[in-house]
Structure 1
Amino acid sequence: MLIIKYYDYLIVGGGIIGMSIARELITRFPDESICILEKESDVAHHSSGRNSGVLHAGFYYTANSLKARFTREGNQEMTQYCDENNLKINKCGKIVVATDENELQGLKELKNRAEKNGVELKWINESEVRLIDPNVKTYKKALYSPTTSSVNPVEVCQVVKAEVVKNGVDIICNTQYKGISNGEILTSSGKFTCQYFVNAAGLYADKIAKDFKFGDKYTIIPFKGIYLKYAKNKSDVVTNIYPVPNLANPFLGVHFTKTVDESIKIGPTAIPALWRENYGGLRSFKFNEFFSILFYEAKLFLNNSFNFRSLAIEEMKKYRKSYFTNLSLKMVRKLDKDGFGQFMKPGIRAQLLNKKTLELVQDFVVEGDNRSFHILNAVSPGFTCAFPFSRYVVDEIVDKQGGKLEEIREDIS
């Protein structure tokens, strides 16, 4: 194999996280050579281009979590980035509704978390709900998030791509990571060498990490997220409408999303997938992945960890269009149940599982040393968090390199 090129930083994964890390690195170290390797024909082919497009505000997460911090900051930064780059953004807000007295307690918990996280979240009564969106139905009161917005994730990723390339980052597509040997990175396009390796491979981050002796206690369990478009019109819903979530798991339940073009969609599902790119049919089917993932999903089912059994059964029901749509109708006063069109392009959520405790890891997880760094869990809302999370990652990388890069630059200056 030919050694193609040496880079100071070599990043595997051309999603929003990999590109944001490259963006942060080139900003801090403009004289360093940086490259992103992407196995697809362009960036953002997987989670980064298939997510809801919602910029979350940051009130779902416990105050001591990285997600709480990065979502709050990321919402502000991504909103500003879209404004500065004339990107489409729908600043329509979000209403979280309750269906009964018990769910009011869930709203109180969300409000409490918002206050601890420094996130704006307002109590509104039924009359105030109707002023924001006349079609929203809630029990007594609801929560309103004015800073929740919707963007086009593919459009955002393309602008970030153009920015980093303009600033000197190489992006090499159609190049798949194959392994490491004698310090050389093996790919489908040949060998690469680097001073520092960054693993931002999303669905395959755990497998790559193991080549570097990291992430041994974790594995990725993929969950398929599907949305259904409301085809009748764009006016029956004017804001994002969410239910009270089960905070014991990382999924927010079926909700209404108002997109950048004012369209309406419901979803997503969180259906356990059987291989990592199990978007539909047998495309990208991988025999070894199937048995490995099936093993852990069977284990979760038998042990009923985090109520996985009922979660899996409930999610599988959502393949039935009538069942799926009926879940959404609980949150609105009136909607034509026959007005929904076809299921939209699915996405796969790369969800980290602790193999020992059989728990879904709900926060960011990173591991690394002075030669490599691995983003093992950049779970939702990773897109919202991308910019501040990338700063955190680069801080960690510099620290693990002993701060040598910064010291060298200080000496030079």
Structure 2
Amino acid sequence: MKHYQYLIAGAGIIGLTIARELKKRFSDATIAVIEKEEDVARHASGRNSGVLHAGFYYTADSLKAKFTKRGNKALTQYCLEKGLSVHQCGKVVIARDEKDLEGLEELKRRAEKNGVELIWVDEKELKEIEPNAVTYQKALYSPSTSTVNPVEVCQAIKKENIQNGVDFYFCHPYRKVKEQIIFAGDKRFSYDYFINAAGLYADKIAQDFGFGKDYMIIPFKGNYMKYEKNKEDIQTNIYPVPNLKNPFLGVHFTKMVDGTIKIGPTATPAFWRENYQGWSRFRLSEAIPILYYQAKLFVTNSFHFRSLAWEEIRKYRRSFFIGEALEMVRNVDPNGFADSFSPPGIRAQLLNKKSLELVQDFIVEGDKHSIHILNAVSPAFTCSMPFAEYVVDRIVEWKEKRG
């Protein structure tokens, strides 16, 4: 039996930054992180595009809006101070037709409310920023968007945590909780406070504690494809106007931290939580409820799930997927892309089972003994440091209610 004042499940960016924030505030506290994989960032935190978002997609009353601008600044500064890779290349959001101009106007309004720099540019100005981008009449330019290496960032925070006395137990998957004892792998852990940052399995763990009863994780697969011809054809991130009624941003060009160009991601409904490739990690017990709710979404067409599913499934066809990206640029070689997708990521998207809606914002539930991060989806990587401050504030607040 091991005892810790704070026990964290999940060694993705959220679990790592919460451990870091706890140590900053309570340097003498005993803290441990349990993780089912052999190292940090093996799922969404290490499989995302590495984009540090600016914060103009989100409504002003959301936690995402509250934390994205601050998180962008904090992570950029962290990378610069630690000598980590960061590519401050910016981003343009282009319009493909007249209808998209309304979407650009809405993004500009949100940027102003959120205090985020977002600049109107005409076609001539856009060509100076990104010669290859094509837009209808005008576009938006985000100078503060950048890219990092997400695995490198997570490894750096892990190293910092270890130096500060945080213990890590890799290959120790959470199994169950009983009378304030966590069974993980072949060990048992007692704790004063438990923090659930388990990503794809956060809902399952939360329900063991009596939380998250109205929710379940619906996984979506994000496929990317690398542009192998060169690193010069694209200079900055190029995004389309997204459908703001769902949480996905559409296929776009990402200028990665090493200059590599890739397109993606898709948002294809996955059939189990770690449905990365083939039948790897298949679990029938996961597939049945996921397929049940996907069927309900398809029949009811909640948030236009039916058209979204068909559209995303079409992106498995290489030519269609590449064609989506080529609509945004002048001159990119359609034969310059890789023959197959890069290793995919899985988005742990929370579904409200009662309303059949995808939850757009972060969701945190808890009490004086535990806290559960139920919907840490994009831009959670960007938001991670101020979001960790918010989570620790909630922990302190709820613990003070102990009496």
Partner residue in 2 for 1:333: 330
Partner residue in 2 for 1:409: none
Partner residue in 1 for 2:318: 321
SS of equivalent to 1:229: strand
Match of 1:238 among 235, 238, 249: 235
* Structure 2 unmatched ranges of 5 or more: none
Contact map agreement 2:368 2:401 (CA 8 A) in 1: no
CA deviation vs aligned residue, 1:142-175 (integer Å, no higher than 9, x gap): 0000000000000000000000110111111000
SS of equivalent to 2:4: strand
Partner residue in 1 for 2:342: 344
Partner residue in 2 for 1:392: 390
SS of equivalent to 1:195: strand
Pair 1:378-2:376 in alignment: yes
Pair 1:191-2:152 in alignment: no
Contact map agreement 2:222 2:268 (CA 8 A) in 1: yes
Measured in 2, the distance between the counterparts of 1:105 and 1:91 equals 28
Measured in 1, the distance between the counterparts of 2:149 and 2:129 equals 23
Contact map agreement 2:350 2:358 (CA 8 A) in 1: yes
C-alpha deviation, 1:128, in angstroms: 0.5
SS of equivalent to 1:339: coil
Measured in 2, the distance between the counterparts of 1:403 and 1:390 equals 20
Pair 1:255-2:252 in alignment: yes
Measured in 1, the distance between the counterparts of 2:344 and 2:158 equals 23
Correspondence list, 1:43-62, <5 A: 43-62=40-59
CA deviation vs aligned residue, 1:292-348 (integer Å, no higher than 9, x gap): 100000000000000000000000000000000000011001111011013101000
Match of 1:362 among 345, 360, 363: 360
Correspondence list, 1:154-173, <5 A: 154-173=151-170
Partner letter of residue 359 of structure 1? E
Match of 1:151 among 135, 139, 148: 148
Partner letter of residue 399 of structure 1? E
Partner letter of residue 265 of structure 1? K
Alignment size in residue pairs:
402
SS of equivalent to 1:158: helix
Task: State the identity as a percent.
Answer: 63
Partner letter of residue 373 of structure 2? I
Match of 2:29 among 25, 29, 32: 32
Partner residue in 1 for 2:5: 8
Partner letter of residue 378 of structure 1? A
SS of equivalent to 2:159: helix
Measured in 1, the distance between the counterparts of 2:211 and 2:173 equals 20
Correspondence list, 1:72-221, <5 A: 72-221=69-218
Partner letter of residue 104 of structure 1? L
Measured in 2, the distance between the counterparts of 1:172 and 1:244 equals 42
C-alpha deviation, 1:189, in angstroms: 2.1
Match of 1:401 among 359, 381, 399: 399
Measured in 1, the distance between the counterparts of 2:6 and 2:388 equals 14
Measured in 1, the distance between the counterparts of 2:187 and 2:37 equals 16
Measured in 2, the distance between the counterparts of 1:403 and 1:158 equals 35
Measured in 2, the distance between the counterparts of 1:19 and 1:241 equals 30
Measured in 2, the distance between the counterparts of 1:89 and 1:227 equals 20
Match of 1:71 among 48, 51, 68: 68
Contact map agreement 2:95 2:135 (CA 8 A) in 1: yes
CA deviation vs aligned residue, 1:331-377 (integer Å, no higher than 9, x gap): 00111101101310100000000000000000000000000000001
Contact map agreement 2:12 2:45 (CA 8 A) in 1: yes
SS of equivalent to 2:348: strand
C-alpha deviation, 1:403, in angstroms: 7.0
Measured in 2, the distance between the counterparts of 1:68 and 1:343 equals 31
C-alpha deviation, 1:270, in angstroms: 0.2
Measured in 2, the distance between the counterparts of 1:164 and 1:118 equals 32
CA deviation vs aligned residue, 1:206-239 (integer Å, no higher than 9, x gap): 0000000000000000000010000111001000
Partner residue in 2 for 1:23: 20
Measured in 1, the distance between the counterparts of 2:97 and 2:272 equals 38
Contact map agreement 2:34 2:184 (CA 8 A) in 1: no
TM-score by length of 2: 0.99
Measured in 2, the distance between the counterparts of 1:88 and 1:155 equals 8
Measured in 2, the distance between the counterparts of 1:327 and 1:173 equals 40
Measured in 2, the distance between the counterparts of 1:126 and 1:157 equals 38
SS of equivalent to 2:249: coil
TM-score by length of 1: 0.96
C-alpha deviation, 1:187, in angstroms: 1.3
C-alpha deviation, 1:111, in angstroms: 0.3
Measured in 2, the distance between the counterparts of 1:77 and 1:181 equals 38
Partner letter of residue 124 of structure 2? S
Contact map agreement 2:351 2:359 (CA 8 A) in 1: yes
Runs in 1 of length 4+ with deviation above 3 angstroms? Answer: none
Measured in 2, the distance between the counterparts of 1:181 and 1:403 equals 22
* Structure 1 unmatched ranges of 5 or more: 405-413
